[in-house]
């Protein structure tokens, strides 16, 4: 009995300490589960897409955060199964309902995708506000966060140029009262194609409303810069700088940083490598907890 009480006390104390820390999440994968079972890596959370069966698997190993597939500006939001969202919120450690700012060209027939005229930007922003408003009405502004998406300079796969504008992202946060999900890799891709220094681009985002942050490395795939790779030198530099901004109080302190490397049902070059997890996860844990 004394041993059981001691173990329970140790678990409670460890949980209380972690509640005070900035937490690290990792994309759920079998490779990560295996390394955890061998005690070769440590993590605070798994991060999963909103797939109930996969969430259940992840939760059997670690507390789990769900990243929802909600996309503003695509025509999707009016048809979202909000009961599924509510169910996953209620049975996981997920704190926020995220929305990707990804206005689809098909939804804006009368607007040139790369048009930066104020009237064109406003037309896109109005639709984004309507979609975010529907989610806020359901869950409340304090629980909704908007995520910046990558923009590749006008490729056919791109969203409307308005999604890359820091003025639009800032307006969406200010008008709705939602928080910011800052994806560092997405910001790096966008700033490259806008030909704006990365830190200058970030400085124009509403970082005082930061609630969650995502990081990955970048690599060229079929002629396009892609994320969800191991952290390379420039990614480490960007993340170190971001952690310093949080530590110095220049940005709001998010509750969690997600390393979006790996996952399930992935083919090379996106499938996770255990060697990468062994090298990068411990370093990330130290950096994240130190903030």
CA gap 37, 46 in Å, rounded: 14
Which residues touch 39 (CB under 8 Å, ≥6 apart)?
A: none
Give the CATH number for residue 253. 3.20.20.150
Q: Is the peptide bond before 269 cis (omega within 30 degrees of 0)?
A: yes
Q: Which parts of the chain have pLDDT scores under 50?
A: 1-3, 7-8, 13-17
Domain assignment present for 16: no
Domain assignment present for 6: no
Closest C-alpha to 103, from 169, 167, 160? 160
Q: What angle do CA 79, 260, 14 make, to 5 degrees?
A: 105
Token pair listed for 137: 């009405």
Predicted local distance difference test score (pLDDT) of residue 7? 46
CA gap 250, 241 in Å, rounded: 11
Q: How many domains does the chain have?
A: 1
Domain interval for residue 110: 22-290
Domain assignment present for 274: yes
CA gap 219, 243 in Å, rounded: 22
Q: Are 113 and 161 in contact (CB under 8 A)?
A: yes
Domain assignment present for 214: yes
Domain assignment present for 139: yes
Domain assignment present for 228: yes
pLDDT for 230-282, tens place per residue? 999 999 999 999 999 999 999 999 999 999 999 998 888 889 999 999 999 99
Token pair listed for 269: 């070059």
Closest C-alpha to 150, from 213, 96, 204, 193? 193
Count of Cβ atoms closer than 10 Å to residue 2 Cβ: 6
Domain assignment present for 74: yes
Domain assignment present for 205: yes
**β-pair partners for 8:** none
């Amino acid at each position: 009995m004394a041993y059981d009480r001691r173990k329970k006390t140790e678990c409670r104390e460890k949980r209380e300490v972690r509640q005070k820390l900035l937490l690290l999440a990792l994309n759920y994968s079998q490779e990560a589960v295996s390394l955890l079972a061998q005690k070769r890596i440590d993590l605070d959370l798994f991060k999963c897409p909103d797939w109930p069966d996969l969430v259940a698997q992840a939760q059997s190993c670690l507390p789990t955060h769900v990243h929802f597939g909600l996309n503003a500006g695509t025509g999707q939001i009016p048809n979202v199964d909000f009961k599924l969202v509510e169910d996953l919120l209620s049975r996981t450690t997920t704190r926020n309902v995220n929305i990707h700012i990804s206005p689809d060209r098909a939804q804006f027939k009368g607007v040139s995708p790369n048009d930066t005229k104020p009237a064109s930007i406003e037309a896109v922003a109005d639709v984004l506000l309507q979609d975010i408003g529907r989610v806020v009405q359901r869950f409340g502004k304090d629980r909704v966060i908007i995520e910046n998406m990558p923009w590749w300079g006008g490729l056919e796969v791109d969203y409307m140029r308005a999604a890359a504008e820091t003025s639009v992202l800032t307006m969406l946060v200010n008008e709705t009262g939602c928080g910011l999900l800052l994806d560092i890799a997405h910001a790096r891709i966008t700033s490259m194609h806008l030909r704006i220094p990365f830190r200058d681009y970030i400085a124009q985002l509403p970082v005082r409303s930061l609630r969650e942050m995502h990081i990955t490395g970048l690599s060229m795939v079929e002629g396009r810069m892609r994320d969800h790779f191991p952290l390379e030198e420039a990614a480490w530099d960007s993340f170190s700088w971001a952690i310093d901004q949080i530590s110095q109080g220049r940005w709001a302190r998010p509750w969690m940083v997600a390393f979006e490397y790996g996952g399930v049902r992935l083919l090379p070059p996106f499938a996770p490598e255990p060697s990468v997890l062994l090298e990068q996860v411990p370093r990330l844990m130290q950096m994240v907890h130190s903030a």
